[in-house]
């Protein structure tokens, strides 16, 4: 088994469950276009991928319409939705254990950096991460591949065999492949096992506990 040193974590659906905040903000944005959504569960597909792409993919918006929808979304998200969120049980304990075991943790999220920083600070998770790589409100680094590449560059990581990307959606896995690093899919988020396997995840874990045992074993090699 490869001994990794750098662990890149996705945020939404991997460290925290942002379902309420994200789906309510998407519904709010859609309402401005006259689209009423009564079942918020139908909007969980927006958790993970870049928002602009999701509005175009799932509601056939033009790029201009999608940009307006993202603006509406952010209006509610920055004021309310950002904290309609919760940390998955066991995550903080996992991050502490991984840090104690000597792994270097890096956040790699498609969420705008300004929001990701607020979320980590609110839940007191920021101390576990040595670097945060996210997208920017001006449209820079929107894809997971770009986010990962930025993290590798800024952290001066040259040996990619020492890096593992951890996330719950295919975008995390595909972004890892784009950067020639290994990936782990987690099933307690919003991606399915089929989605993660088709994307080519190197490992798949069903729970936070299983992830802990994976890295515990890894650290003893």
Active-site residue (options: 10, 17, 168, 172): 10
Instruction: Report phi then psi at 135, rounded to 5.
Output: -80, 175
* Alpha carbons 164 and 14: distance in angstroms, whole number: 14
From residue 75, give the alpha-carbon distance in Å to each of 53, 61, 115, 195. Answer: 18, 19, 12, 31
* Look-up of token digits 């998407």: 26
Active site residue 168: no
Q: In the numeric block, which tokens belong to residue 18?
A: 């942002």
Return the active site residues.
Answer: 10
């Amino acid at each position: 088994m490869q001994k990794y040193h750098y662990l890149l974590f996705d945020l939404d659906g991997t460290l925290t469950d942002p379902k309420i905040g994200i789906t309510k903000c998407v519904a709010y944005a859609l309402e401005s276009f006259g689209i009423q959504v009564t079942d918020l569960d139908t909007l969980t597909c927006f958790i993970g991928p870049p928002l602009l792409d999701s509005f175009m993919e799932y509601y056939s918006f033009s790029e201009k319409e999608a940009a307006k929808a993202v603006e509406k979304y952010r209006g509610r998200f920055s004021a309310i939705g950002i904290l309609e969120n919760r940390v998955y049980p066991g995550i903080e304990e996992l991050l502490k254990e991984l840090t104690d075991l000597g792994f270097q943790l890096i956040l790699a999220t498609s969420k705008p950096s300004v929001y990701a920083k607020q979320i980590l600070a609110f839940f007191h998770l920021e101390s576990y991460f040595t670097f945060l790589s996210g997208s920017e409100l001006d449209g820079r680094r929107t894809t997971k591949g770009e986010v990962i590449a930025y993290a590798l560059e800024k952290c001066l990581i040259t040996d990619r065999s020492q890096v593992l990307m951890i996330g719950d959606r295919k975008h995390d896995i595909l972004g890892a492949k784009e950067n020639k690093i290994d990936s782990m899919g987690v099933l307690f988020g919003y991606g399915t096992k089929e989605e993660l396997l088709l994307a080519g995840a190197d490992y798949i874990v069903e729970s936070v506990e299983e992830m802990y045992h994976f890295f515990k074993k890894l650290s003893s090699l």
